[in-house]
Structure 1
Amino acid sequence: MRFLFVGDSMTIGRAGDYTWRYRMWQHLNATFGGPYRIVGPRSELYDPAAGAPVSDAYADPAFPDKARKHLAGWGEGWQHMAPLIGPAVTRTKADVLLVSLGLIDLGFYTNSDQTAGNVRAFLAGARAANPSVRAVLLPVIPNSRALADAPFAAECARFNDLLAKAVADLDTPASPLLLASPPEAYDLRADTYDGTHPSPSGEHKLAAAFATAMHQAWGLGGAYEGR
């Protein structure tokens, strides 16, 4: 089984991060009951000094190159990934997409309705490349801007409702979709380093959200035990 991580800055991570992708790799190694691969066209972290995704300085240098693969980008959202996902799935033969997108879209590019339209375009592209592809989609999670900006918070809540509707509308036995539950007890002071991007504890909580959804709905992997 081939897993493809898709996301924005919370998923690509910055130089010096472990990333929640690393936490998921550890989880799959410990619980997945068969062969698997992490796939993707990219592997780098974002380097703030360079302003580009050119770093390989993961917090754990033993994180193997073959497990660093992803399709994530700093400042990239649903609208950016929708045209990329089909070619990425074709190239990597991905079976399961683990997707964390939406915050950057609503913050800079598109409103909730437009963002939901890009979700549907993304899923159509993925399925055109692999009609049996599975996907786990994470809603927009708590963030500091939503605490201070009521209209933005309302857009985040509306998008999450539209995302749930898209999952319900488009889920099929041949290509199942899951809506992951937002991480429990997500504390912006402890679980992020800036009100948005995950700290080590936040990385574990993001990985746990995906792991729990896959384990409970599809029997993939086990209960998340990372800390």
Structure 2
Amino acid sequence: MVAAFVGVHGEEAAVLLRAFLASVLALGVLGAAPTVAQPAAPLRVMVVGDSISQGFGGDATWRYWFWREASRQGRAIDLVGPRRGFRVGYGTRYESPGLRFDADHAAWGGSTVNFHLGVIDGLMDDYSPDVVVVQLGVNDALRGVSGRTIAGEVQALVRKILSASFRTRVVLAEVPLHPTRADTAEAAADANGWLVALYRWNPRVTVARNVSDERVPWRAANFTFDGLHPNATGQTLIAQRFAEAFHGAGYLPDSPAIYRSRTWNPRVVPRVRQSRGVVTFDWSKAATEVRMASVRVSIRRAGSTTWRSTPWFRVKQHRATRRLAKGTYAVRLVPRRGTMVARPGPLSWSACAERQSKSIELKPRSFESWCSEVIVRIVPLRERMTSDWVTAPPPR
């Protein structure tokens, strides 16, 4: 300790000595009581991407599956960003009406790398993320930008992110390959080659193998609904690849187990109105919530085991009508988006019918649990319905 203050004399030495002793005591080296370990602060993660990350109304999105896996592993993740949902006109809710997760993000459907170059400085100042997920480039390739230019712009974006703080890290996605546009796929593959070479040995950047991992090869026919955007199964595979990158970088403690085969299940419900035996099925409200291209209506009469389905209707048609005989019917709406067709609701008809048939006559808007089928009763004209419209409730 004397050697530490050689050349320092008088009052100045005393001040330095007191400071040194205080710091030693604070560190507990002189027998101070050990401090209790505090739980790790949530890892602040900002997702910077395009529509693959933002998703569409009715999607769970890969962000949900990633967040769920981190929660399962006990790793607190705070997703940050200026948005929580989708672009205007793309839908208003996630796959399940009751789906609750940390939905904050900085993705924007249709965006290019250049767009994010213009806003990233402000986002870094506002949200101070620990890790930034960058999932971009395909919209640039679709616009004819070369792979080398895409890689150069992504490099500039990553440089801005890393310069915001020495603590910040990046998880970088590969650019997806378009299955029917050779020029776009070539540009994406070229960009991926450049990016992997640029960041292979960079300790602050981890590349997620969402395209090149051969254990479960990314095939558009299996994992997208339109050749580019992930379907319900594809969302889990993208989340798996990002979680693997997080685990490899030390941000998640365990190997992830996210990927699974799923059928889309947005649980959309029609509004149903009957007058003189003519039933109108209206899906206009459902179409504002869930992004879908077409729908079909399935009808089953009480006591029957057979569902009868209408042809597919364009969503913009908004409604369809059918004449039904007197009786009680279960009605369900099946949406379709590209090759992704939703599955019927999870509850049995009998359970749903018992609750809703009473609710129609007594308390048309007082439901205690979720039903994804609507029960319609065609009644004689002298019987008066409490409400013309029957709408299934949101879940609790």
Compute the TM-score of the two structures, normalised by the length of structure 2: 0.51
Q: Deviations over 1:20-54 (max 9, x none)?
A: 11111111111143x3311111112135xx3xx6x
Equivalent position SS for 1:76: coil
Equivalent position SS for 1:157: helix
2:223 aligned partner, one-letter code: D
The answer to whether the 8 A contact 2:70-2:252 is kept is: no
| Deviation of the 1:72 alpha carbon | 0.8
Matched, 1:157 2:189: yes
Q: Which runs of 5+ in 1 are unaligned?
A: none
Q: How does 1:85-124 map to 2 (within 5 A)?
A: 85-108=120-143, 110-124=145-159
2:151 aligned partner, one-letter code: A
Equivalent position SS for 1:97: strand
| Deviation of the 1:219 alpha carbon | 4.9
Q: Deviations over 1:146-199 (max 9, x none)?
A: 4xx2x3332221111111122237x24xxx101111253222122111110000
Matched, 1:77 2:112: yes
CA distance in 2, matches of 1:79, 1:103: 12
CA distance in 1, matches of 2:46, 2:253: 15
Distance 1:204 1:106, change over 3 A: same
1:180 aligned partner, one-letter code: A
Matched, 1:212 2:244: yes
| Deviation of the 1:99 alpha carbon | 1.8
Matched, 1:192 2:224: yes
1:203 aligned partner, one-letter code: Q
Q: Name the residue aligned to 1:26.
A: 68
| Deviation of the 1:113 alpha carbon | 2.0
Matched, 1:135 2:170: yes
Q: Name the residue aligned to 2:264.
A: none
Compute the TM-score of the two structures, normalised by the length of structure 1: 0.86
The answer to whether the 8 A contact 1:100-1:139 is kept is: yes
CA distance in 1, matches of 2:99, 2:253: 20
Equivalent position SS for 2:118: helix
CA distance in 1, matches of 2:92, 2:170: 27
Q: Which has the larger radius of gyration?
A: 2
Q: Name the residue aligned to 2:336.
A: none
| Deviation of the 1:202 alpha carbon | 0.3
Q: Name the residue aligned to 1:60.
A: 96
Q: Name the residue aligned to 2:84.
A: 43
1:43 aligned partner, one-letter code: R
Distance 1:109 1:78, change over 3 A: farther
Equivalent position SS for 1:3: strand
1:177 to 205, 208, 220: 205
Matched, 1:201 2:233: yes
Equivalent position SS for 2:166: coil
CA distance in 1, matches of 2:58, 2:80: 21
CA distance in 1, matches of 2:243, 2:163: 26
2:103 aligned partner, one-letter code: R
The answer to whether the 8 A contact 1:87-1:129 is kept is: no
CA distance in 2, matches of 1:58, 1:208: 19
CA distance in 2, matches of 1:2, 1:133: 10
The answer to whether the 8 A contact 1:136-1:178 is kept is: yes
CA distance in 2, matches of 1:6, 1:101: 8
1:207 aligned partner, one-letter code: A
CA distance in 1, matches of 2:138, 2:245: 20
The answer to whether the 8 A contact 2:178-2:184 is kept is: no
Q: Which has the higher helix share?
A: 1
The size of the alignment, in residue pairs, is 213
**RCO greater where, 1 or 2, for CA within 8 Å and sep 6 or more?**
1
Q: Name the residue aligned to 1:166.
A: 198
